[in-house]
Amino acid sequence: MSTTAYQFTEAFARSMDAQDPLSNYRSNFHFPKVDGKEAIYFCGNSLGLQPKTTASYIQQELENWAEKAVDGHFHGEDAWYHIRKKSKPALAHILGAQEHEVVAMNNLSTNLHLLMVSFYRPTVQKFKIITEAGAFPSDMYMLETQVRFHGFDPDEAIIEIGPRAGEHTIRTEDILNAIYTHQEELALVMMAGLQYYTGQVFDMKAISQACKQVGVPVGFDLAHAAGNVPLQLHDWGVDFATWCSYKYLNSGPGNISGVFVHERHAENPTLPRFAGWWGHDEGERFKMEKGFKPMFGADGWQLANSNVLALAAHQASLDIFHEVGMLELRKKSEQLTGYLEFLIQEISGDTGVLEIITPSSAQERGCQLSLLIHKGGKAVFDEFYKHGVVGDWRNPNVIRLAPTPLYNSFLDVYRFAKILEQSLKKFA
């Protein structure tokens, strides 16, 4: 749908919802309330909503624990010894990967450190890392400490690529130019797949191809991309990636992460790693012998046995994703976010009060729009909340809004726009 077809009317929003093949999935989620009324929830970029099936998935594992105790590891339909395998089909679809290239484990920051052990192998000549300026703090801290661990100065080793003067997003050509310019001293490219602050989706395919040309590993933090935008990690040739499951993957606060490791590394004996017994050949695991033999694929990066209750909550959401499919979610996402963009522009007009800093091209963004509020600031955001809008404030003056296609509606977007219109008038 082109923006020229959008209308700033409740009737239009309702007609879009009536035509939406995914509209029924909204009823699969619990919505929070503000002052006793169901919220307009645009904060899936920070924490996704709880599927109504989550409690029953967890309860099933609690019953298995109660009834089987230790025998739950080896008996029953979903014996815990192999329970990680259950999430693989959905994760492979979401990430654009082979099933042996993905596994759910740990949390994102832990996984980034583990993957850096394998893929950041600096030398005196090649020790630098390219990342995006303004990366999420955990990524910045992880890179700083990894560089220091190897005896280098972060100020010298970490190359941050930022927007050009007067721009809010990073040009792909500037990232690629940096890769080619620094190739003789470059050890790794590690950056977000989708920038958390601006909502920009980076051209992961082009970046990966450039890294392959210069012989440098590339990895992505997909915290804001997984479950939000289509990914083809295998075909793009990405070396490694990790993500969290509590944002668009709706798996619960702080819940389990996962890793992707391209199959070309599946049986590379020269690739170092920090090992644990759950990454050891499961056919020999209980021999309890010395000599680590990694499992094939991403499973070989596991450390400890699976967190069963976390995986149960994770699976409740993954089953919905597997049923719906990323292509259908993406179709709706482009329309839903396009509608939000249209309404914001209609309200703002030429006043200059609002500025969308997320790219206007659907190929360069997910469902999130980031707004610069040039007048009213935090007061406007607080006014949103009083009227039931749950969004996300980032200093100094950015509001992030994420109409999520699994559970948000066009009517949500319209109602938000009316609240935005009123709030801006109040603080004009």
**pLDDT tens digits, 101-117:** 999 999 999 999 999 99
Higher-confidence position of 425 and 258: 258
Has residue 122 got a pLDDT over 50? yes
Domain with CATH 3.90.1150.10 in the chain: 3-49+327-426
Has residue 377 got a pLDDT over 90? no
Q: Which residues contact 416 (CB under 8 A, 6 or more apart)?
A: 40, 42, 340, 343, 384, 389, 401
Out of 4-8, 263-267, 405-409, pick the least confident: 4-8
Superfamily the domain 3-49+327-426 falls into: Aspartate Aminotransferase, domain 1 (3.90.1150.10)
Out of 166-170, 246-250, 286-290, pick the least confident: 286-290
Out of 21-30, 77-86, 345-354, pick the least confident: 345-354
User: Angle at which helices 204-214 and 172-181 pack, to 10 degrees?
Assistant: 10
Tell the residue number behind the tokens 């990694």, with chain if given.
294
Has residue 372 got a pLDDT over 60? yes
CA–CA gap between residue 254 and residue 244 (Å, rounded): 8
The pLDDT tens digits of the residues spanning 197-224 come to: 999 999 999 999 999 999 999 999 999 9
CA–CA gap between residue 183 and residue 314 (Å, rounded): 39
Q: pTM for the complete prediction?
A: 0.95
Has residue 353 got a pLDDT over 90? no
Has residue 157 got a pLDDT over 60? yes
53 CB burial (10 A radius; 0-12, 13-18, 19+): middle
pLDDT at res. 1? 46
**AA identity, residue 33:** K
Tokens read off for 208:
């990966």
Strand order in the sheet with 218-221: 102-104, 257-261, 240-244, 218-221, 186-192, 128-132, 158-161
Task: Report the share of the chain in percent with pLDDT over 90.
Answer: 88
pLDDT at res. 9? 97
Average pLDDT over residues 265-283: 90
Tokens read off for 22:
């995914």
Mean pLDDT in the chain?
Answer: 95
Domain with CATH 3.40.640.10 in the chain: 78-323
Tell me the fold of 78-323: Aspartate Aminotransferase; domain 2 (3.40.640)
pLDDT at res. 336? 98
CA–CA gap between residue 229 and residue 220 (Å, rounded): 14
CA–CA gap between residue 103 and residue 85 (Å, rounded): 8
pLDDT at res. 344? 95
